[in-house]
Amino acid sequence: MMLLALAIALAVVTAVGVGVLAWDQRRTPMPSDAGRVPNRHAAIAAAAAWACYLGAFVAGIYGVLFVNVSVQGLPLGGRTIAVAPAAAGLVFLVVHAAGDLTWPRPRGSVREARLAPRDADDVAPRWLHRVVLVSAAALVTGMVFLGSAADGPRTLVVTTSEGIAYRQGPFPGWWHGVPVIIAVALLIGALEGVLRLIALRPAVTGVPGAWDMALRRRSARRVLRGVQCSLALTGAGIFHIAGMLFDQVGPGMEPAYVACVAIAWLFGLSALMVLVVPGLDFRAARREAAQAVAVGA
């Protein structure tokens, strides 16, 4: 059931992500032919990143289904599922980084360079960047809470009304929490590095500076969307499992069950929100193009 839920969630995320990518490309204003090559390069990098994201995630799930590996009697399948979205997100960022490192350089005998200091805060949409960082912090905090509530690496101690204690599992305790926390830290570190690459890549020549900045902000938005999807898939899956276990425990665990289900839904909705909210990076460029057409008419 868990694998089916993750597969459906990934299919929805992938479909919406590809749809948003295609929509972004169709509504991009072109001030000149000079912008077509870098715009196409950014789109190809984003499409390849989504394809690799899907491939990495499926490879992780395949390992769970067909490879039975354990360490000291503890199966690694649950760990693999827990870190699969973050691992896929790291692959996603590596492909985006490759796209920025191979960014088209200016050509011709006369070249120009636009000297403008930029950093990650300039290219990353502020609200989206904050959503990603808050989601990462919430996921790490949640894993610490679940790890503290667990008894042992992946079990929960339940005491019946008769005073009989027994273990219930599998529960996402420290066995899952430690690798998830490490994966989230690596994911956020890689994200900041890719945003830095986007800020420092060569400027597009032959186009207004505002258009070049809009293209950078679109690239940053795509990267942040993918990372948020990884965090959301991880958080929704883990808290869904924790909520199911709290529900099985029975009386006295209703608040924990409701809290876990609510958090799982919030993570899932956050991914859909960042995917469907349209970016307004090229708003000024589209307005200038419309005004130019109106003046020409």
CA distance 203 to 291: 25
pLDDT beneath 70: ranges in the chain? 1-7, 9-10, 13, 17, 20-21, 24-27, 29-34, 63-77, 106-118, 157-169, 249-253, 281-297
> Domain segments of the chain: what residues?
2-26+35-103+117-289
In terms of Cα–Cα distance, which of 200, 279, 237, 223 is closest to 92? Answer: 223
Distance from chain centroid for Cα 171: 24
Q: Which amino acid is at 270?
A: S
pLDDT the model gives residue 292: 44
Q: Which two tokens stand for residue 99?
A: 């796209």
- Residue 268 to residues 55, 90, 125, 234, Cα–Cα distance (Å): 21, 19, 21, 9
pLDDT the model gives residue 243: 84
75 strand-pairing partners = 70
pLDDT the model gives residue 180: 93
pLDDT digits (tens, 9 = 90+) for 189-210: 999 999 999 998 888 877 777 8
pLDDT the model gives residue 160: 55
Q: Per-residue b/e over 31-47, b at no fewer than 16 CB within 10 Å?
A: beebbeebbebbbebbb
